[in-house]
Every structure is written in C-alpha cells, then in structure tokens.
Chains A and B, each alone.
Chain A
Amino acid sequence: MTVAPPAPAPARRHRPPDPRAHLSHRLAERGIDRTLWLLLPGVVFLVALFIYPLAYGLGLSFQPLKSTDPLYNYKQFFTDHLQRDTIGTTLRISLPAALVNVIASVPIAYRMRGRMRGKRFITTMLVIPITLGTVLTADGMLKFFDPAGGWFNKTLFASHIRTPDQPVLLINNYWGVVISLIISGFPFAFLLILSYLSGIDPSLDAAASTLGASPRRRFWQITFPLLAPGLAITFCLTFVLAFSVFPSAYLVGNPTSTTRVISIAAYEARSVETNDSKASTIALIMAVIELLVISVVLFGRGRLYRGSTGGKG
C-alpha cells in the first residue's frame, strides 16, 4: 500500500504562464485542482503514523533477534504450536461472538424497525455498554459472575437451579470472553442493523403484504435480500471488534490457555520477551488473518444484490 498523494505536484502550478494553463485546466477536468490540497494533512498523518509503522514493522519482522534467517520469526510462529494455536483460539472466540451478535440482532431490530413506543429509550440503553467498553465490563463481570458471592450465582442458588458447590463458571474461562464480547458487540451490531433496516423502503413490504405474502415470506423474500449486504458489513465490523480482543481475554478469560488469543501472544513478545521483531511479526500475522476473513465476507457481499434501497451506511 504505497500510496502517493494524488498528483499534487502538477496542481501546485495553478497560476502559471500561458502554456501551463492548459495543463491545469486539463487536470481540473479530471478532478485535480487546488481542493485536493485539503487531503494532504490527513494523508501525511496516516502515512507517517499508520503506513510507515506497518512498513517498519514488516522490515523488523525479517530481522530476528536470535537468528540470521530472515524468515526465522515466521517459521517459528508457525512451527511452535503455542504460537500457532493462538490463531485458532482467536477465531474460536471471535467468529461465534460476531455471529451471535449479528444473528440475535436481526429479529429484534426487525421488530423495532418502524415507529415504536420506547424505541429511543431502548436504543439509548443499548449505547451504554458500547461506551463503557471492555475494560469496565470486565471489572463488573468479575463481581457479578463471581462463583461464590456474585449476584448471578446467588440468584441461581436461591432459585435452586444450582447448588452452591456447583456454581456456573462464567469468568476466567472461554465463556467470560465470549460474554464480554457479546455485551459490547451486540448493541453495536443491533444499532447498525436497525439503521440498515430503516433504510429499506417500507412500501416494498406493504406491497408484498397487499399481494398476500405472509409475514415470514415477506421477511425472507423482501427484507432479507435487501438487508444481506448490510449484514455482511455488520458482521465485519463486529468481527473486527471481537478479533482484537485484548483487555477482556486478559481480565475475564484464561490468558495462559483457553483464551490465549493472538493479541496476547503479540503483547507478550513485546513486553515480556522484549523481542520487538517477534512482536511485529505476530502483529502483522494478526492483521493479515483479520483482513483475510473480512475480504472473504466482503467478496461474498459483492455477489449479493445491492439495490438503491439496500440500506445506507
């Protein structure tokens, strides 16, 4: 991704002598004029703080600390099962969490797509977990799901669903991380899908209803095809959130085994082993895997119908 700023050099000669006037005129016809200078600060910032560090990290990943083989870090990552397995662990946590978030959101958002009493209240309540973030959610979960004294298990004991010697364990394991990802990811997915749904023209549904289509058929044949591209985007965005899970995997998970996700491996390589080269390698592998999953989903989306009513955003 070596992106040059869009030919600002010619645009600079905006008030030149006669022969050049033709050039700037011709460029303006193709959309290159002084307005593009407005892009420069943003592009400079991102090239310096995003593209350059990634390139630097890529270079660093080929300069291992302990070997002269440039591919040493990559070989080691894929042969050491402690490292390699973090990919599977991350996907085992993030894919189900993202799927649950999207699938649970659809029926609820579908019910709330039109005008409804209390809609603004419910949406406001749902924004709260998004703003609280994973660190705070983790702190609350540690108290609430505490196997001995947390309110969740106390309720189960009091209602005789479980006995105190068999509490439901929802923290410091796989489920803790998935729950934390659902708490912050479900509202996010829900609000996105609600906005896509409200972008679908309701007269289409009404027309189908007039022609005698049952509610189920209207959903599957009218709304769902129009919503599908939006669902793909929503899945991607919740997946990004779930894939980069770091604080919750550390705090409410079991960061040494079942929730040793790839971000923990990268972080440990950096802070515990102080091996920047290895840490950069893992970080880049992480980015590549995530972008692979997203491009698979978006490739699928490209094959879906994208009409003018296919949602907005």
Chain B
Amino acid sequence: MSEELAAVEETARRRGSRPIVWLAWFLLAFFFVNLAGIVFSAVVDSFGDNWFGNWLPQVWTTHYWSDAWHAYDLGQVLQVTLIVSVAVVIVSVLVGVPASYALARRNFPFKHAIMLVFLLPVMVPPIAYGIPLATAMYKFNTITHVQIANSMFGVILANLVPAIPFVVLTMTPFIEQIDPKVESAARMCGASTRKIFTRILLPLLVPGVLAASILVLVRTVGMFELTYLTAGTDSETLVVKLFDSISGAGIRAPQQSDAMAVLYMGMMLVLLVIALRFVNPTQLVTRVAEERDA
C-alpha cells in the first residue's frame, strides 16, 4: 500500500466517524474489560482466601499453589504435557512438510480427494472423530494387549490427527510462494536432489516450519477433547487435569483449580510470546506465509 493511499484512507476514515463506529469501539472495550476481569478473577482467587463479599481477598496466601501441586502431581503432569506436545510437533512437521511440498508443486489425478482427506479433520469436531478413535484404540488394547489408549503414545497419536492437516494446510501456501525456478536453476547447475534439499529448500523452509511448529505446539497444549478421550490417569495433560478439577468442584478447594489455571495460563502466555516472535497475530489463525505489506 502506498503512502498516499494510506493518507487518503486515513482522512476519509476520520471524516466518516459515526455513532456506529463508536459503538464498535465501545463493544471492543467492553470485551477487553470483561476478559481482563475473567483472567484476573482466576489469578487473584488462586492467591487469596476469605474474600466472600469483598472486592479483594482479605488474606493472601500461596498454600493453594502448593496444595494443587501435590494433589494433582503437577510436576508429572507438566512433564507429560511437554513430552506429548513436543512429540506431536516433531512428527507432524516431519510428516506434514513433505506432503505439503508434493501438494504445492504437483498437479495429479485425485489431488482434490487427497486435499479433502487433509481438510476433513480440521472441519469435523474433535469429539465426533475422537469417540470412534478412542473406541478403536481401546479395542486395539484388548486385542493385542499393547497399551495404545490409556497411554502417552495414544495421546500423541490422537493429537496428530488435527496437527498433521494443520501443518499441511499452513505449509502448502508457504511452499507455493517459493519460486520453483530456484530449484530448477540449482538442478541445471548440477546439484543432486539431496543437495537441492539441504542447500536450497531447507533454508527457505525454516521460517515457515518454525511458525507452523509453534502454532501446533500452542494447539496441542490447549487441545482438550482428544486428550481427554484417549488419556489414562498418568497420561493426562495440564488442560485435562484442569477440567477434572473444575468439574469435580466441591471435592477440593476451588482455589486449587485456579492455581492450576494460572499455571496453564502462564505456560500459554510464554508460548504466545515465543510464537509472536516468529509470526504476527493474524497468522495465528490464518496462514504461515509472511505478507510483505502487512
């Protein structure tokens, strides 16, 4: 966008201030105020005691944190969360990037059918395919006596179902924008396929792969349904434990689930800060390809 156009747009926009615009800003502000309220309610509650009827707790304490840590064995839960999400990222990138290369570079019969296979897991609700998947996994357990469901391995497999299509759908446009002439030129100069891959493609792919991996990481840490359906007690991730503790309210102090929620929130925010170093916010929901103009 040229500077002039931006200036024209800017003045046109200022002239066009109407009540509806103010309404839009008001709604946005209202949204943020409530969001902040929701987030800080949980944070304050996890550190507070005895604040019924008051604006803020009367007693500040950290003992709910240590209670939650021991009651839910959070050290182990964090370890499981880490292993599962890193494994999902690595496998989905190793499987998804080559597939997106083929989809970006070749036109072949049944390409639409293949694209549909990669698109459907994104479109179908996780519960809808998670239930048959978990059932099939438990069936597999009883037939072969190999633990798939109820284990970390099963959780990783289940989380790969949305992760691989996500990598494919975000990396295909990214690879499409890499000029194929670069590869042809390298081949003309006598580079072997392996050399083209390591010297030409890999360096060009790194930014896209980094962005896709961090997005898959965020999604996997936050994925509730599939993990909930396939995990056993010692293979639950943090978000599933959090759900258990909120839905089992009354058994334990609600502050304990708040402590866990704040821990989860902190983890997500760290991931988000890392993610935003590699991608801009709109890319978190759309695509990985960098836009020069944005």
Mark A residues whose CB is within 8 Å of B: 1, 3-4, 6-7, 30-33, 35-39, 41-43, 45-47, 49-54, 56-58, 60, 104, 107-108, 111, 114-115, 120, 122-144, 148-152, 154, 183, 186, 188, 191-192, 194-195, 198, 202-203, 205-206, 209, 215, 236, 240, 243-244, 246-247, 250-251, 263, 266-267, 270, 276, 279-280, 282-284, 286-287, 290-291, 294, 312-313
Closest CB in chain B relative to A133 CB, distance in Å: 4
In this complex, what residue of B is CB-closest to A285?
A: B128
- B286 near A195: Cβ-Cβ < 8 Å: yes
A57 and B125 contact, Cβ closer than 8 Å, known pairs A45-B95, A47-B117: no
CA distance A133 to B20 in the complex (A): 30
Contact of B8 with A290 in the complex, beta carbons under 8 Å: no
Is B32's beta carbon under 8 Å from chain A?
yes
A43 touches B117 (CB 8 A): yes
Within 8 A of A (CB), among B202-232: 218, 222, 224-225
Given A136-B264, A191-B285: A50 in contact with B120 (beta carbons within 8 A): yes
Report yes or no: A136 in contact with B261, Cβ–Cβ below 8 A.
Answer: yes
Chain B residues near A47 (CB-CB < 8 A): 117
- Decide if B78 is an interface residue (CB 8 Å cutoff): no
Knowing A49-B157, A108-B24, the reply to whether A1 touches B120 (Cβ < 8 A) is yes
With both chains docked as a complex, state the minimum distance between the C-beta of B79 and any C-beta of chain A, in angstroms: 20
Out of A38, A139, A236, name the residue touching B98 (CB < 8 Å): A38
**Residue in A135, A144, A244, A263 whose beta carbon sits within 8 Å of that of B242 in the complex:** A135
Q: Within 8 Å CB of B136, what residues of A?
A: 52-53, 56-57
Q: Which of chain B's residues have a CB closer than 8 A to the CB of A51? A: 117
- In the assembled complex, the Cα of A247 lies from the Cα of B246 at a distance in Å of 10
List residues of B whose CB falls within 8 A of some A CB: 1, 5-6, 8-10, 12-13, 15-16, 20-21, 23-25, 27-28, 31-32, 34-35, 37-39, 41-42, 45, 51-55, 94-96, 98-99, 101-103, 105-111, 113-114, 116-118, 120-136, 139, 157-158, 160-161, 164-165, 168, 218, 222, 224-225, 239, 242-243, 246-247, 254, 257-258, 261, 264-265, 268-269, 271-272, 276, 280-282, 284-287, 291, 293-294
Q: Is the CB of A120 within 8 A of B281?
A: yes
Within 8 Å by CB of B95, from A42, A52, A290, lies: A42
Known: A152-B37, A263-B127, A294-B123. A131 touches B222 (CB 8 A): yes
Main secondary structure of the interface of B (DSSP, over half): helix
Which has the most chain B C-beta neighbours within 10 Å: A132, A149, A203, A280? A132
Instruction: Indicate whether A151 sits within 8 Å of B41 (C-beta atoms), given known contacts A53-B129, A243-B125, A283-B131.
Output: yes
Q: When A111-B24, A143-B45, A313-B287 are in contact, do A251 and B164 touch as well, CB less than 8 Å? A: no
The answer to whether A127 and B272 touch (CB under 8 A), given A46-B164, A142-B246, is yes
A137 vs B37: C-alpha distance when bound (angstroms): 11
